[in-house]
Structure 1
């Protein structure tokens, strides 16, 4: 069967080919009467409108939303993202959500208006159904540090349960038994998983899990400071597991003010190694995360998606944390040295 052309429709309708093109595409002005006539003729002649697939124009810009770039953890992560993107010809726009879901939503709107090619996100606590809108618009999203329940996405995370478990197990091996924990908001995946690892180590050692030994430090320095004051006011804690570096800084300030000797009176294990950890008056035992590598991996996954080289199923990379033992938790070693 002969293919019907716009030229034939124009001849039959007694109009120009440009008018037919405007009427059928819906782009440009054509009177309603003429448009109706053209559509009727095209249907009668069996014309099929071919919809052109428009290839997405890349801006070579990636949006990155983290909770707080002043947190040393995210400083190194973002560096890994930036170096990887720059090596592949991309730039980034950096945003801080401050753990505020509404601020995160606003930044998504801003990044969409800037026509970024993709987004790397550390999700704040709360519902993330708004991400569906951007996925429908073919904007790839890679999660960083945390997963979310509503949407299955590519992600780069660490084994938080294993990290917390190893830290608390180490405290138990050093002779500590009344171990408190300072965690973040339970609306955040990392907080829930690190609390799970803390409890797992206690259960395995046959140590009672006491809810009054657990405080929410809100993943902030002030939160860590307040949580330590509250926990130590109970007078029963002999060690602390602190679930991120910013809270650890606040906790150490409070411990210093209270003139508590570490590790003799109080053992400390933090989470996220920071550059100052080995330089403190009592060098800090921490769970170290491969922060730079987390950033590199997240950028690489996003670029693969943009290049059409990503896996069909969502890709979740789980990296392993590492326990670094320093003086803040060496209670048994100190006792042996004094014999």
Structure 2
């Protein structure tokens, strides 16, 4: 038994990345007795929730007592986040051999269709199941036939094994096993000594998450816009290059005296901002001629020098073709 307990401690530390103890004053409120205050806080905040009790109350081992509180906490958080406005019932049923803690919510008003399934984030339910297993209990979660969702924990009364582990034990603390967070709500858990303050924190955290989702969505839209702008800009740049550049082989393929129409078929329009400097540095044009200035794809003269080709037309013919260099 001692070896098993040590193994559980090692597993808990590995999950947590380090052991931390929950202050006794705060942990003391996180037991079955604290569930009523948690429900009262939820009701005061406008959540349609009620607490039901049945059976003769019996004491639980500290770890089971703490696990019962966690079931109620997770169930209320889950219902508040994923079924806002739905009626919630928290039940404490003292059976002959165990306490059953159940949080059940109905469907969201105005919505139809089945509940999608266990939506608390997976890790939250896994942590609860592990906590219950360590004290010999179990946790069930799933949709109900009439609509809505049900989370229930079955926790045995005090046993010898359960007596070994206290609810302040870092190895078994659910929040520590999940990195100090309730998975699904996206923020750190602040351990309030008053359950009413804790529920307020849950609701505030949910609202912050909604704001984060909106902000993240806006960030994604901005990023997409930048990508589109870059792609569009790159396309425009390539268009400008296509209008201004030819290969040396194209220059060599035309000859003075060739019909202007046939020469222009081989050449781009030249209407590009890339040719502005070349036109400014070009030699004087032949009188009465119309000239087209283009850049060569030949970059053998270095980045500071461009090879330029100029074609001059008059009376429907190519009267001059000229190659010269300009400095960038």
Q: TM-score scaled to structure 1, two decimals?
A: 0.23
Q: Which has the larger radius of gyration?
A: 2
